[in-house]
Amino acid sequence: MDETNAYIRIRGLRKVYQMGHTKVHALDGVDLDIPRGSFTVLMGPSGSGKSTLLYLLGGLDRPTSGKIQVGEQDLNSMDENALAVYRRRTLGFIFQQFNLVSSMNTLENISFPMRFNGSSSKARHQRAARLLEQLGMEKYTRHRPTEMSGGQQQRVAIARALVNDPPVILADEPTGNLDTATGFTVMQMLSDLHKEGRTVVVVTHDPRMARFATRMIYILDGRLVSKEDYDQAIATQE
C-alpha cells in the first residue's frame, strides 16, 4: 500500500449500530487507500456495510472508531459545521433514490447546493443552465422531477452533484433504480467525470460497473475481502 500517494486514507474504520439489544458491526476494521483521480467501485451484497463506508467517507455519519483523511482534511477532528463545509466544497453526492426536491424544477434542483455557499442567484442560474446544456437536457429546464423519467432524474442529480465543481464524487447505487440501458448511460457519465480528473467512488452490486473502474473493492460483513473470497462467498450463497 503506497501511503504517500493516497488521496483518501481510511484506517481501522469501525461502525457499530445498536439495534435494540444487539450490536451490529456494519464496518469491522476497514483500511483503504484511494488515489487521487481514481474510479473506485465498492462491491458487496446488501447489508455488507458498503453504503455505511460511503456515508462515513461523505461525513454524513460518524465512525465508532478509526480514521478518515481526505487530502489534508481529517474528518474526525471536524465539528458539524466543518463537515458541512467539507461536503459543500469537496463532495458531490449521487443517490439511488435521486433525492430531488419534488416541488423544485430542474434548474432549481441543480442549483440548490449553491444556495448554501453564498452564490448570487445569477451565478446559480448560469452554472445550472450550463450543466443542463452539457447533459443535453435544456428542454427540461422547467420540468419537475415527477414529469421526468428515472434516467432523466438521475442526470439532473448528477448535474446537482457537479454544481459546486467538487474533486470527489460519491455515488450510492446510482443505477439501482434504473433499467439496464439507462443504468449503462449513467455509468458512462460517471466514467466521464473520472476522465475529467475527479476522484469517483461508487457503491454498487451491478457487475457491469467493473469495466469503468480503475480499482475494485469487495466488501463482505463489514470487512474488505479479495475478489476470490468474494466470488466464492457469493457462489456459496447462491
Partner 1 sequence: MRLLDLLGLIFYNLSRRKGRVALTAIGVVIGTAAVVILVSLGNGLQRSATSQLGGISDLTSIMVFPQYEEQMAGPGMSVSGPSTVKLLTESVIADITAIPHVTAVIPRDYLRTMSVINYARLEAWANVMGVGAQDVADLGYTVKEGVGTLERGTAVIGEPMLRNFMDPKMRPGQEPPEPPDLLDQQVKLVITKYTNDGQEVRKTVQLRIVGILKESRNEGDYSLIVNMNDMQGWNEWAIGKRINRAREGYEQVTVKVDSVDNVLAVADSITALGFQAYTPQSAVQGVSNFYIIIQVVFGGVGAVALLVAAIGIANTMAMAILERTREIGLMKAIGATNRDVLSIFLGEAAGIGFIGGLGGVGLGWLVGQAINAVALPYLASQAAQMGTPPPDAAVYTPLWLPVFAVVFATLIGLISGLYPALRAATLVPVVALKYE
Binding residue for partner 1, selected from 60, 142, 196, 208, defined by CB under 8 A = 60
Distance CA 41, CA 66 (A): 21
Name the helix (H) or strand (E) containing 93: strand 91-94
Segment 125-130 long-range contacts (CB within 8 Å, at least 24 positions apart):
127/163, 128/159, 128/163
Q: Is 115 in the site for partner 1 (CB under 8 A)?
A: yes
Q: Is 165 in the site for partner 1 (CB under 8 A)?
A: no
The residue assigned the cell 501511503 is 3
**By CB under 8 A, what part of segment 70-89 binds partner 1?**
80-81, 84-85, 87-89
Q: Is 25 in the site for partner 1 (CB under 8 A)?
A: no
Q: Is 99 in the site for partner 1 (CB under 8 A)?
A: yes
Q: Is 198 in the site for partner 1 (CB under 8 A)?
A: no
Phi-psi region of 29 (alpha: psi -120 to 50; beta: other; left: phi over 0): left
Q: Is 132 exposed, middle or buried (0-12, 13-18, 19+ CB in 10 A)?
A: buried
Cβ neighbours around 229 below 10 Å, total: 13
**By CB under 8 A, what part of segment 37-56 binds partner 1?**
55
Binding residue for partner 1, selected from 7, 112, 167, 233, defined by CB under 8 A = 112
Q: Is 155 in the site for partner 1 (CB under 8 A)?
A: no
**Binding residues for partner 1 (CB under 8 A):** 55, 58, 60-61, 80-81, 84-85, 87-89, 93, 95, 97, 99, 101, 103, 112-113, 115-118, 121, 160, 164
